[in-house]
Structure 1
């Protein structure tokens, strides 16, 4: 079943659109007010409660062998017609639209980097896991390191981590947690999600 949408959101990227109808860039990623704030906050609250070291390790074991489903890129993009990202304060339309918007925006900004256009199209395809029965809090949203105290830059950091069990575990509740200084990003366990 396709998600019913209003006007085509890709209109914002078309050259004949009048500037007064385009959302101001400074109003994007507003996590303090807006019509979708309750939905966005709830998604991040669930994410920040349940994304633990143990959870991430289990999901990596479950999906890390890439055996969920075999499909081509356009099949995956088409699947995203049925997903509206509950963590995004800016959109109320299917993620497939966002994939094409991103690719088109990158193409306009970087016409000489065709590989980058493809990255824009692909960047959210991992969200198909939400259509495989995974809750959105386990798939969408911004990623962050697990196994250490969350940094202040994490969305809703001050109001959503209080029920995360890792923060009651002395191995994971300090600034570095389970990591050594300068260990390298390749050695950091990130929250599970589409990225």
Structure 2
């Protein structure tokens, strides 16, 4: 790509970021993005075929990083020998959540768009997708506890869903409200302590 082409692309992406942050995906206007960027509609279509493709280009990498990092942590925990899992319940997930927090603060605008402005796209399902993965991991862990002779009492599925979804919503509130990073780290630590204690109580551990 030529230097001029890269400059035009950067202007389009900057204008799109502004438009999506202000109006969200559904209400954002390609016409307005082109106008803000100071380029022609023809120039825009030289880079992207649609508003959806532009949105994907802006936040797809950040969405995929979050899901991949989260799923990697789940797999790392599942790969531990069963007898080691109870003693490592918080370490792997804690490192994962901190990594995601650091990454999100490095890409605040992208995450604000994903979390608050992505209705009408696949990105609006981030919390639901993470909750689905976490739920499966929880069920797998309950089976491990049973095999270790430490069975958990039955957990109501609706309560389980609300608690897991609430945990991720709490985490992402740190990013949505752009808390000072040092405060966000502290709140994350306290949040994890709160949810860990609650889950241990519910699981009878």
Q: Which has the higher helix share?
A: 2
Task: State the structure with bigger RCO (CA 8 A, min sep 6), 1 or 2.
Answer: 1
Which of these two proteins has the greater Rg computed from alpha carbons?
Answer: 2
Q: Same fold (TM over 0.5)?
A: no
TM, length-normalised to structure 2: 0.29
Q: Please, what TM-score do these two structures have when normalized by structure 1?
A: 0.30
